[in-house]
Every structure is written in structure tokens, then in C-alpha cells.
Amino acid sequence: MITLKRISKKLVLSLTIAIMLASYTLAYAASSSFTHPEVGEYMTVHVSYGGAQFDIYGFPYYVVPSPTRSHRGVKVNKSELINKDNPPFDTAITKLFDSLNGRYKNFPVPKSFRLGGTAEPYTEYIMALPVEQRLEALKALGGFNGLEGYDALLGYPGFTADDVAKFKQEHREYRVKIRNNIYPYRVLQFYFEEDDAYGYFNERYAFVETKGRSWVLLRIAKEYDIAYAQRSKYIHGLSGSNAEDLLDANSEALYGMSPGMSFEEVLAQTNGVVGKKNTITLNDTELYRMPCSLTFHFDDENRLYKTTYKFTQRQSYYSAFVSLYIRYYDPLVINANKKTAWNLDNMLIELNGDSKTPTLSFEIY
């Protein structure tokens, strides 16, 4: 069974009091409360245009902040459209640093703050720099300046030639697909500890690189947990993530098939029903412990490029949202029609909940 961190009754009571004082819960248009089929915990999932949240026993475990509210001085998560409203990297991170001094309402001075991912061991060195240098060091360390950008780290205290060589060896480029456009993509993670009952949490800032505007902030996600490394899950865009952690999840998504398999190979292995437009369907299967049908889609060369799962209950949308978070972390798009999308370098994942029979597709691009 996939499990999330257990929460004690004492902590739940404290958190309930804190939740009444907090401003993170969104005014959601839709929500569902249930015992998750994989996690086995009672939770409530809220999803609305631009924002999402799920709570476990009343505790907000994961939050995509509402686009209607300022989060540490910036507004994000508005839509999948990328425009002049997306704050530049320097603006977004400078305001995050400002929030550490209590500049913004509802964001108290944290008891502890650390950089996340590969930057964590260098927190003291980077945070001791003037803000302008701090921003440049974070860009270099986060891979925003490409492979050669790591060399600039040698000009800052705490970094050695061996460190830079390791960063270069582990460097990889990330990308996402939004409205049929491909963007370079990177994520920074920050760890906070506060004195109140919430305790500790991570925040992830997701950036895309646009023509003429360089890196701009697209999405913020907040996770009341420090165990991303302990759960050993891949976070797309975060330096140091291991793509091998996706192998099982992606194999599950494609029903054990491989991208590019021929129509005949998939048919032989599944014994499914042949349909129109190069499709094969299994009418009685399950995904994430939820009953559904599965359709395999093939391109003009009869090669597998997409799977679509169709669930039998409207509530499956909310269960699938959590199951996808467990495997792929932060959604990149949440739109008004309850379409939620995750991105990998070569896969677009779309969860649609605007009908009684939600669908989930995995498309190779």
C-alpha cells in the first residue's frame, strides 16, 4: 500500500486550531471526501480553477495556492497561459527572501529556512551573499544557466571544483509542453519550519523559460512534508531528481507496454477489442485500484503513443489527482474545466473531470 505520513491525534487537534487561523484553504468550486483506495487514509480533495488542495484528517497536506491571493508577494497559478503577468525569476525569489523577514501578511518569520534539492548543503553560503549574488548563485546551482553555468559557482564561497564537476555530470535539461508549445523548465524547492502547529513544509517554485523574457514563475506548490527524498520520487525540473524513479509509474501508465510498440504487439499481449482509428480497448481493468476501461492509441505508423483510462465514477477524478501527485508531484495546469495536467520531458498527462466518467491520458510526445 502506498502510504503518506501518519498524523497523530494530538497533532490533528493542534492543526485544526491552526487551520482556522490560516489563509491557505481556497474557495473551491468542487471537492470530495473519501478514503483513498491506495493511501487508505480519509481525505478531502478540493480542485478549482488554478488551485488545488488535499487534506488528510483535516490537515492540509498539499496545496496549490489560489491565483486570487498573493503568495509571498506574487500571484501565480492563474492559468496555463504564459504572459506578462508571470513574475520574472529575480522578482519572485527576491520577494520570497523578503517574506523571510515577515514583510508579507500571513507569512511569519520562519523558525528555520533552508534551500532544497542539491542546494540544501550550501544554504548557509548562499544565504550569506548579497541578494543580487544570491539570485545568480541559485540560478547557476539550479541549472537555469545550463551546463556551463555551474562554473560561476567557483566564484562563491563553499563551492569546490569537485562540486562543479559533479553538478555538470548530473545536469539534465527539463522541458514541458503547454498548449502545444515546448518550454525549458526548472524547479527550486525551499524548506520552512515555523513555530506554530503546522511545523514544517516545502514550497516548490516552477519556472519556464520564454523567448525574450528569460525565466518566469509559472506555479507554486506547497507540501506539508519534508520527505520528498525519503519517498524517493522524481520531481520534474528539480536538480538532483532521479529519472529512474519514474520507471515503475510510467510502466503502470502504459499498462506494461512500451512507447512505440506496434499495434500487433499490443493486441497480442492484451487480447483487447479492436476499434476505429487505430485503437485497442480493454473494457474491464483498473488503474490506481479504481475500475476503468483502457484504450491504446496508435499513430499513422501503427506505433503506440497514448493510453486513455476512462473511470466509472465521478469521484475517481479526486482519487486520481492524489494518485498522480504521489507519482508525479506537482500538476502544471489546473483549468476551469477540471482539466489537470502533469508534464515530463516526453510525456503529457491529462486528467479530465468534467463528466460523470473522468478520463486520464498519458501521451508520449
Q: What is the pLDDT of residue 226?
A: 56
Does pLDDT of 12 surpass 60? no
Mean pLDDT of 152-161: 98
Higher-scoring residue by pLDDT: 84, 206: 206
Based on the domain organization, do 302 and 317 belong to the same domain? yes
Q: What is the pLDDT of residues 276-326, one digit of tens each?
A: 889 999 999 999 999 999 999 999 999 999 999 999 999 999 999 999 999
Residue 183 confidence (pLDDT): 94
How far is C-alpha 313 from the chain's CA centre? 25
Q: What is the pLDDT of residue 198?
A: 60
pLDDT of 48 reads 81
The enclosing domain of 308 has a CATH number of: 3.40.1000
Residues 211 and 78 in one domain: yes
Q: Which amino acid is at 353?
A: G
Bridge partners of 183, per DSSP, are 176
Q: What is the pLDDT of residue 115?
A: 96
Q: What is the predicted pLDDT for the residue at 50?
A: 77
Residue 26 has pLDDT above 50, yes or no: no
Residue where a domain terminates, one of 240, 264, 281: 240
Kindly report each contact of residues 49-53 with a partner whose C-beta sits within 8 Å and lies 24 or more positions away, as own/partner.
49/79, 49/334, 49/335, 49/336, 50/77, 50/78, 50/79, 50/334, 50/335, 51/26, 51/77, 51/334, 52/26, 52/321, 52/331, 52/334, 52/340, 53/24, 53/25, 53/26, 53/28
229 shares a domain with 88: yes
* Residues 303, 199 share a domain: no
Task: Please indicate, yes or no, if residue 56 is contained in any of the structural domains.
Answer: no
In this predicted structure, the answer to whether residue 79 has a pLDDT above a threshold of 80 is no
The last residue of one of the domains, among 175, 209, 240, is 240
Q: Would you say residue 161 lies in a domain?
A: yes
| Residue 232, pLDDT score | 57
Q: Is residue 16 part of a domain?
A: no
For residues 59-63, average pLDDT: 90
**What pLDDT, on a 0 to 100 scale, did the predictor assign at position 196?**
67
Whether residue 160 sits in one domain with residue 107: yes
Lowest-pLDDT range of 20-34, 98-112, 138-152, 173-187: 20-34
Predicted pLDDT at 19:
36
In this structure, the answer to whether residues 226 and 265 fall within a common structural domain is no
Fill in the DSSP letter of residue 14: H
Nearest to 235 by CA among 219, 258, 215, 259: 219
332 shares a domain with 205: no
CA contacts within 13 A on the Cβ side of 144: 25
163, 182: one domain: yes
Please say which residue of 221, 240, 259 terminates a domain.
240
Per-residue model confidence (pLDDT) at position 231: 52
Q: pLDDT per residue over 227-282, tens digit each?
A: 544 455 789 999 988 888 899 999 999 999 999 999 999 999 999 999 988 999 99
Cell of 271: 487480447
Flag whether 105 is in a domain. yes
**Tens digit of each residue's pLDDT (9 = 90 or more) over 178-232:** 888 899 999 999 999 987 656 789 999 999 999 877 999 999 999 987 554 445 5
Has residue 337 been placed in a domain? yes
Which of 314, 357, 327, 179 minimizes the C-alpha distance to 252?
327
- The mean predicted confidence, pLDDT, of the chain is 88
Same domain, 149 and 277: no
Do 190 and 308 belong to one domain? Answer: no
Amino acid at 156: Y
Over 80: is that where the pLDDT of 16 sits? no
Whether residue 11 is predicted with pLDDT greater than 50 in this model: the reply is: no
Report the percent of the chain where pLDDT is more than 90.
70
Cell numbers at 120, concatenated: 540544501
Domain, as residue range, for 76: 70-240
Does residue 160 form part of some domain?
Answer: yes
Q: Which residue stretches of the chain are H helix?
A: 9-21, 89-99, 123-127, 131-141, 161-170, 247-253, 263-270, 316-328
pLDDT score for 18: 36
| pLDDT at 144 exceeding the cut of 50 | yes
Q: What is the mean pLDDT of residues 8-29?
A: 38
Question: Residue 52: inside a domain, yes or no?
Answer: no
Same domain, 290 and 155: no
Of residues 100 and 77, the one with the higher pLDDT is 100
As for how many domains the chain has, the answer is 2
Cβ 18 vs Cβ 7: under 8 Å = no
Same domain, 304 and 163: no
pTM above 0.75, yes or no: yes
Whether 4 is in a domain gets the answer no
